């Protein structure tokens, strides 16, 4: 997790990039008129690996299926 602090003008120019970094877990602060605002996702989604949907895979060798029956 990285810390990122940007002025409001840079935030406007790179809005989507900065929001994506916050979504990926970086700590993002925006400064405007001497005040700081932190951008955080509403729900923490974890890392990208935690959002992967598991895939059920059948191994014919482990399930007792003969190779001849697959032809």
- pLDDT, tens only, 18-40: 999 988 888 999 999 999 999 98
Spatial contact of 4 and 29, defined as CB atoms under 8 Å apart: yes
**Using CA atoms, how far apart are residues 47 and 1, in angstroms rounded to an integer?**
11
Note whether 31 and 53 are within 8 A (CB): no
The pLDDT assigned to 38 comes to: 93
Q: Does domain 1-42 have CATH number 2.60.40?
A: no
**Structure tokens, 13:** 């120019």
**Could you tell me which residue, 57 or 48, shows the higher pLDDT?**
57
Supply the pLDDT for residue 66: 60
What distance in Å separates the CA atoms of residue 17 and residue 20, rounded to the nearest whole number?
5
pLDDT above 70 for 70: no
What's the whole-number mean pLDDT along residues 12-22? 94
Whole-number Å distance between alpha carbons of 20 and 37: 16
As a whole number of angstroms, the distance between CA 26 and CA 9 comes to 19
Tell me the per-residue pLDDT of 53-67, one tens digit each, with 9 for 90 and over: 777 777 777 766 565
């Amino acid at each position: 997790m990285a810390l990122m602090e940007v002025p409001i003008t840079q935030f406007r120019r790179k809005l989507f990039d900065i929001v994506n970094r916050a979504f990926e877990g970086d700590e993002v602060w925006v400064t405007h008129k001497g005040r700081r605002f932190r951008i955080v996702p509403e729900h923490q989604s974890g890392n990208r690996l935690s959002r992967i949907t598991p895939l059920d895979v059948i191994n014919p060798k482990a399930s007792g299926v003969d190779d001849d029956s697959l032809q």
